[in-house]
Amino acid sequence: MTSLALLLIGFSLFSALILALTHFRRENYQDQTLAMFMGLVLVLALSGLQIAHFAWLYLDLAWVETPLYRMTLFAVAPAFYLFSQPLLRPQNQPPIRLAQLWHALPVVASLGLPAESSLPFAFIVGAGYLLWLGRSLYALRNERANFHLELLLLGGVFLIAAVVSVLGLLQATLPEKLFFSLYAISIGTAFLLVQLALGLRPQLSAEVSEAAQESYASSTLTHVDCDAVLSGLNTLMQTERAYEDEELSLPRLASRLGISAHQLSELMNARLGKGFSRYLREQRIDAAKSMLLNEPTASVLSVGLSIGFTSQSNFYEAFREIEGMTPGQYRKLNTQKKSAP
């Protein structure tokens, strides 16, 4: 058990670094600065817990009994809430304000709690946040066809968190290091499931946010000429190559079409069967495929940057997601097909 815990602690720390460097970037969280920042806080908090678990399980250093560990433990649930809420909040709700800093109260209160009761209380607090998350995910039930496997993986993370909450309440009855081994394993497994989900859907956060807006709203297309808007959208993409704008967002594109961001989001989902993030990636990848074959001397990086991607890693992620191969592999495969007799 301890060996597995140590292995998953190492994986957690490596995974946290990868997420911080590749996922929690501005291009993945357009208009969602708070979610991006709190995601980084959450990853940092979980990493801190895993470091303390390593110190206790491998080095016999009782870092899990320190005030800093308790504060970090209490920070996890509020950080996850403040990361999730902007993504799952319907557009007609007010934005998050400074008044919501009351979510920091459990962290501060942890300093005044007796050590023996702080862990159970932390998991009681976490259970309350889990109930909110479960309610929010239930609101996406009509979108399960679009996120079937991804929601299944994230549901696994939810289940792990629920089990850990129960274990936290029973912590005093478990053998000395067993709880912390199980907790370390749970965090590592959660990191693994998140990595799998993002491997399937690199832009999962943006797409879930779009789906959440649709699930809460009634139709806004009653007085919209949908065919005319779709025709204008096609012109913007095919003729004006609007996808080349690396700052292109749903509100900016909707403004150019003369409708609201929510109307455009609803129209895309209803008529095209996809959200804005997916649609934009597909437009860029279609353009990339043509450039890769028609401009054989252009580097893969220059192709990606010229069609709106802000980094090579983003370009590769999107290309692999849509085409199942890297841009270089696509160019080589299709060049060989052209040259074959």
Closest CA to 25 of 205, 243, 263: 205
Domain 2-211's class?
Answer: mainly alpha
Q: What is the pLDDT of residues 27-60, one digit of tens each?
A: 777 667 778 888 899 899 999 999 999 999 999 9
In this predicted structure, the answer to whether residue 322 has a pLDDT above a threshold of 70 is yes
Residue with tokens 């993030």: 277
Q: Where do the H-state alpha helices sit in the chain?
A: 2-18, 33-57, 67-88, 105-109, 115-138, 148-169, 178-200, 204-216, 226-238, 250-257, 261-267, 276-294, 300-306, 312-323, 327-339
At 183, the amino acid letter reads Y
The matching CATH number, chosen from 3.30.465.10, 1.10.10.60, 3.40.50.1370, 3.40.640.10, for 225-339 is 1.10.10.60
Helix (H, G, I), strand (E, B) or coil at 33: helix
**How many Å apart are CA 193 and CA 156, to the nearest integer?**
7
Q: Is the pLDDT of residue 164 over 90?
A: no
Q: Averaged over 267-296, what is the pLDDT? A: 87
Which two tokens mark 309?
């991607």
User: Average of pLDDT values for 284-299?
Assistant: 90
Summarize the confidence of residues 167-192 as an average pLDDT.
Answer: 78
The pLDDT-based confidence of 278 (bands split at 50, 70, 90) is confident
User: pLDDT tens digits, residue range 237-259?
Assistant: 988 999 999 888 888 898 999 88
pLDDT band for position 94 (cuts 50, 70, 90): very low
Q: Can you give the residue ranges of every domain in the chain?
A: 2-211, 225-339
- How far apart are the C-alpha atoms of 168 and 98, rounded to whole Å? 30
- Average confidence (pLDDT) over 226-238: 90
Mean pLDDT (the chain, rounded): 78
User: Is a pLDDT exceeding 50 seen at residue 92?
Assistant: no
pLDDT at 339 over 60: no
Name residues whose C-beta falls within 8 Å of residue 152's C-beta, 6 or more positions apart in sequence.
none
Task: For residue range 182-218, list pLDDT tens digits in order.
Answer: 889 888 888 887 777 777 666 666 666 666 565 555 5
